[in-house]
Amino acid sequence: MQARLLLEDGTLFTGKSFGAEGDSVGEVVFNTGITGYQEVLSDPSYCGQIVTMTYPLIGNYGITRDDFESVRPFIHGFVVRQHEDVPSNWRGEYSLGTLLKEYGIIGISEIDTRMLTRRIRHHGVMKGILTTSTRSVAELLEQMKSTPLMTDQVSRVSTKSVFSSPGSKERIVLVDFGAKSGIVRDLVKRGCDVVVVPQDATADQIRRLSPDGVLLSNGPGDPKDVPHAVEMIRQLLGELPIFGICLGHQLFALACGADTDKLKFGHRGGNHPVKDLISGRCYITSQNHGYTVKEDSIAGTELEVTHINNNDKTIEGLRHKTYAAFSVQYHPEAAPGPFDSSYLFDDFLESIRKFKQDNPQLPRQAQVYTAAKFKPAPVSAELKGELHYAKK
C-alpha cells in the first residue's frame, strides 16, 4: 500500500506503507542512530513526533521484549529508507511492522530520508502528516493546519500511580515525566530503593516518601508546558539532593531562574560529543531533545555550566553553586548509545552521601519522641492529598 508524508511547507514524499493504516499528524524529526530503533520507538520523549531514521536499513533485527524502554511506543509515525519485514536475529520475537500495527503507528519506507533530513536541518523541524489515504494534497494540508501539535505529552506518558523497585540502599524518588526504563535499571543495579511517582507529584507528597534524593527524568515536549514541576523542584532545592536528566535538566534550570529555548532541529542520536568543562574530557553521548537552556540566562542565577556540546556549544550540564543539585541534557543510561556517562549515577549517589554527612538527622527514635512530645501544626488540605498507589 502507498503511504505519503506531507510537510507543512508543501514538500511531499511518496513511499510504501508498513505498520498501521490511517492518518497521523506530528512534529517531523530525525534520529542519527545506526542501531537501537526499538529503543527509539519506545522512548516516551518521542511522544507526538514522526521520527525519521537516517540509517538506511531498519527492522533487520526485529523486535525483542527485553529491549523496550517503556511499556509501549508513543511516537506518531516512523519514517525509514528501507524496511526489513523478515528479521534475522536469535533474540527477535516479531517484526517491526507487527509492532507498529499493534499500536496503530503508521510507517513509511522507500523515500529519500537523506533529502528529508537535509530539509529539516536547513529549515528546522516542522509539522507533518503521515497518511495511507488517497485524499488530495490540499485536503491533507487543511487537516494538518487544523490539527494543533500536542502540549500535554508529559501527562500522557507519565505513570498515573506510584510504584517501586525495592532495594536496600538509598531511596530515590524518580519523578516520571516520561522516564526510560534504563534509568530505573541503572539505579536498581546500584542497590537503590526506587520509588516512581507521577509527573504532577507535589513537593509535600515527595517529602512524605522520605527520599534520600530526587531524580527528575527525561520526557517529551516543551519544559514550559510543565509549570507545576518547576514549582515542585523550586520547593525541594536545598532540601534534598537532585539530579535532572534531559527534560529534568531543563526543568531544573527553569526552577533556578534560567530560561529555555527551542533548537532548530534538536539533538537525536547516539554519537553526540559532550565536553566536561571541569576535566576537559570529551564523552560520546546518547541524546534526544528539542529544547536547550539559554546560555545568556545563566547569568544572575546560582547555576554554573559543567558540560557543553562540542558540535554547537549548547549547554549540556549544570550544577547548583550552593545546593546538592546537578543535571545533564543527555542520557547517562543511554539505551541506545554508549555508556560513557553512566558514572553520573554514581556521582548522584555520592552527592547524597555527602549531603547526609553535612546535614545529620536525629536518630529515628529521637524523631518519634520529638513528634510525640510536641504537638504538630495543623495539616493543610493541600498536604492531605495522597498519591495514587498501584495495586498488586
pLDDT (tens digit per residue) in 102-123: 999 999 999 999 999 999 999 9
Q: Are residues 226 and 318 in the same domain?
A: yes
Note the pLDDT of residue 301: 97
Could you confirm whether 249 is annotated as catalytic? Answer: no
Does 160 share its domain with 144? no
Q: Are residues 265 and 295 in the same domain?
A: yes
Q: What is the CATH number of the domain that holds 83?
A: 3.50.30.20
Return d(Cα 129, Cα 27) in angstroms, integer.
Answer: 9
Q: Beta strand 260-276 with 171-175: parallel, antiparallel or unpaired? A: unpaired
Catalytic residue of the set 27, 39, 69, 246: 246
Residues written for the chain: 392
Range of the domain at 336: 154-358
User: Per the annotation, does 288 bind a ligand?
Assistant: yes
**What span, in angstroms and rounded, lies between the C-alpha atoms of 36 and 59?**
10
pLDDT tens-digit readout, 45-89:
999 999 999 999 999 999 999 999 999 999 999 999 999 999 999
Task: Report the CATH number at residue 276.
Answer: 3.40.50.880
Task: Looking at the structure, tell me whether residues 350 and 272 fall in a common domain.
Answer: yes
* Residues 230 and 346 placed together within one structural domain of the fold: yes
Q: Give yes or no for a contact between 153 and 220, defined as CB atoms under 8 angstroms apart.
A: yes
| AA letter at 320 | H
Asked whether residue 214 falls in the same domain as residue 159, the answer is yes
Rg, C-alpha atoms of the chain: 22
Indicate if 79 and 139 belong to the same structural domain. yes
Residues 273 and 340 in one domain: yes
DSSP 367: H
* Residue 381 pLDDT class (50, 70, 90 cuts): very low
Residue 124 annotated as lining a ligand binding site: no
Does residue 73 lie within any of the structural domains? yes
Boundary residue ending a domain (149, 179, 213): 149
Give yes or no: 333 in active site: yes
- Asked if residue 86 belongs to a domain, the reply is yes
pLDDT per residue as tens digits for the range 258-313: 999 999 999 999 999 999 999 999 999 999 999 999 999 999 999 999 999 999 99
Q: 70: burial class by Cβ within 10 Å (0-12, 13-18, 19+)? A: buried
The answer to the question of whether 329 is labelled as a binding residue is no
182 and 33 part of one domain:
no
| Domain presence at residue 135 | yes
Grid cell digits, residue 306: 559543567
In a domain, 14, yes or no: yes
Q: Active-site residue 331, yes or no?
A: yes
Domain boundary among 88, 116, 149: 149
158 plus 274 within the same structural domain: yes
- DSSP character string of 231-280: HHHHHHBTTB-EEEETHHHHHHHHHTT--EEEEEEEEEEEEEEEEETTT-
* 169: in domain: yes
Look at residues 127, 149, 171 and tell me which one is the last residue of a structural domain: 149
Domain count for the chain, please give it. Answer: 2
12 in a labelled binding site? no
Domain match, 194 and 327 both: yes
Task: Choose, from 27, 69, 316, 333, the residue flagged as catalytic.
Answer: 333
In a domain, 372, yes or no: no
247 assigned to a ligand binding site:
yes
Q: Is residue 341 part of a domain?
A: yes
> Are 24 and 166 in a shared domain?
no
Is 357 annotated for ligand binding?
no
- Residue whose C-alpha cell reads 550552593 in the numeric block: 322
